[in-house]
Amino acid sequence: MISTNNFKTGITIQHDGNIYMVIEFQHVKPGKGPAFVRSKLRNLRTHGILDKTWRAGEKVAPAHISKDKMNYLYAMGETHVFMNNDTYEQLEIEQKTIESQLNFIIEGTEVNVISFEGEIIGVDIPEKMTLEVTHADPAVKGNTATSATKDAVLETGFKIQVPLFVNQGDKIVVNTNTGKYDTRA
C-alpha cells in the first residue's frame, strides 16, 4: 500500500476499480483541522482527469504497470500491430485505445506499450516526434497581422498550424503532448 503522504508525480495507483497516474499533488496543512493531500489524477484507461482530495496518510493500492518497448508495424482495419523488439512477438491493439497517439506515430516508430495485469492500456510515445509535412497551404504575403501560421497536414494525416516558412516535404518536430509545431528538423 502507498500512503498519500508518499505521492510522487508519475506513480500509478488503483482507486475505485480504475488505474490512475498522479499528475500533480499538494500537501495542505490548514491552520484548523487535519492535513490533507490535494491531487490531480489521470485515468489511464479513459485519459480523463480526476481531482481528488485525500486525508493525509490515507492508504491506496499501487498499480504495477509494465512498459514494453515495441515497434509500430502497420494498421489492419480497426486494429494496429506492434512487435516486441526482443521476442519478435506481435501484438494487436484496437484503434480506440490509442486514438490520440496515432496522430504522431508512423511505421517503424519505437513506443512503450503500457499494460496492467495483461490488459493493454495504451502506448507511451516520445514527447517530440519528427514528421514530414505532406501538404502545406501557400503562405499569403502580408497575412501576419495576428499570427504568422498556416495549415499543414503531416504524414500521419494530422492537421497542424505551422509557421509560414514551412513547405510541403519539410520535416518538422512536433510536441506530442500539445500537438503543436516545435521546430524544423
Structural domains in the chain plus CATH codes: 2-62 (2.30.30.30), 65-124 (2.40.50.140), 128-184 (2.40.50.140)
Instruction: Provide the grid cell at 43.
Output: 485515468
Question: What integer pLDDT is reported at residue 149 of this predicted model?
Answer: 85
Percent of the chain scored above 70 by pLDDT?
A: 96
Question: What integer pLDDT is reported at residue 180 of this predicted model?
Answer: 92
Question: What integer pLDDT is reported at residue 141 of this predicted model?
Answer: 67
Reduced to 3 states, what is the DSSP secondary structure of residue 165?
coil
Q: In terms of pLDDT, which residue wins out, 134 or 149?
A: 134
Distance CA 35, CA 32 (A): 9
Question: What integer pLDDT is reported at residue 144 of this predicted model?
Answer: 60
Query: Which pLDDT tens digit goes with each residue over 15-56?
Result: 998 999 899 999 999 988 899 999 999 888 888 899 999 998
Instruction: Provide the grid cell at 182.
Output: 516545435
Question: What integer pLDDT is reported at residue 10 of this predicted model?
Answer: 86
CA distance readout (Å), 183 to 17, 96, 110, 171: 41, 29, 21, 9
**What integer is the mean pLDDT of 111-138?**
90
Question: What integer pLDDT is reported at residue 44 of this predicted model?
Answer: 85
Instruction: Give this prediction's pTM.
Output: 0.76
Query: Which pLDDT tens digit goes with each residue over 135-184?
Result: 998 877 665 666 678 899 999 999 999 988 889 999 999 998 888 999 98
Query: Strands, E, within the chain: which ranges?
Result: 2-3, 12-15, 18-28, 36-43, 49-55, 59-62, 65-76, 79-84, 90-94, 110-116, 119-124, 128-136, 149-154, 159-163, 171-175, 180-184
Question: What integer pLDDT is reported at residue 85 of this predicted model?
Answer: 86
Does 62 score more than 90 pLDDT?
A: yes
Query: Which residues make Cβ contacts (< 8 Å) with residue 80, sequence separation at least 6?
Result: 72, 74, 92, 93, 94, 95, 98, 102
Mean pLDDT of the residues in the chain: 89
CB atoms under 10 Å from CB of 149, counted, come to 18
